[in-house]
Amino acid sequence: MQVSLLKTSHEELFLDQGHLLALGFYEGWACFRIKHREWANLEPFSLGEVLAVSNLAAYDEIQDTQSRHFLEPHSEDLIYHSFWGVTPPRARIFVQYPPRADIGSVLSVPRSETGDVGYIDGDKSPYTGPFSNATELFTVKEKYPQVQVYNPLNDDMYNVMLNIDQRHYTYTIVKNLDLIRSILIGAARAKRYTMGTAWPNVMTIPDWLKSAVGSELLKKTLGIMEEGG
């Protein structure tokens, strides 16, 4: 007997105009108010053939023929918000964000991309949805993920494909310390998202965003998260 699980649609997790967003970097938290949003999608994105009990020769950075990353905003004025699904259902997707930083690993050493640790497959996040919350990605200019595929079956997978649903946000940077404090401690309704891995270190902030937010303000956000006030 099949058991049907009711999942919240990823579409309900996209942000609306006016919503608050906090992205956590190693240097501190960058806080934003969303100004405008636009839908976008990439369907299908082919990762190619994966032989039986094997994986891709190298990580795929999800880019076009001119090496432009589909999941990296083309402008500093944009934030991308993405979810994805995969087919065939048994294809295991391993994510690094940023490159060389394993997402979802339970180990203190680099995981194996041919193993059972830290992957999402089509059973968890089907190509036609509902997409798993674990696939959620926020990206800013100069930051992007890469993916690896493992085929655990004894038959070849002739074309592993991703279906990526995305929203593009324009924003204004929040610099009011009282509002930032409310965002970070949960007093204000806001989306808080850790960039990259939580341990041992989160992602470093790109220089352009560090300059736009300000080093001193970033330091203050670290204090707020440490002490709650």
Residue by residue, pLDDT tens for the chain (229 residues) are: 444 445 678 988 999 999 999 999 999 999 999 999 999 999 999 999 999 999 999 999 999 999 999 999 999 999 999 999 999 999 999 999 999 999 999 888 888 888 899 999 999 999 999 999 999 999 999 999 999 999 999 999 999 999 999 999 999 999 999 999 999 999 999 999 999 999 999 999 999 999 999 999 999 999 999 988 6
What per-residue confidence (pLDDT) applies to 224? Answer: 96
Asked if 70 contacts 164 with a C-beta cutoff of 8 angstroms, the reply is yes
Asked if 127 contacts 163 with a C-beta cutoff of 8 angstroms, the reply is yes
d(CA 201, CA 197): 7
d(CA 150, CA 147): 10
What's the structural domain count of the chain? 1
What per-residue confidence (pLDDT) applies to 1? Answer: 40
> Which domain does 65 fall in, by range?
16-227
What per-residue confidence (pLDDT) applies to 11? Answer: 87
d(CA 132, CA 113): 20
Torsion of CA 97, 100, 106, 111, to 10 degrees: 140
The CA-to-CA distance between both ends of the chain, in Å, stands at 51
2 inside domain = no
9 inside domain = no
28 inside domain = yes
10 inside domain = no
What per-residue confidence (pLDDT) applies to 3? Answer: 44
207 inside domain = yes
d(CA 140, CA 32): 12
Strand locations in 141-181, DSSP E? 146-151, 157-173
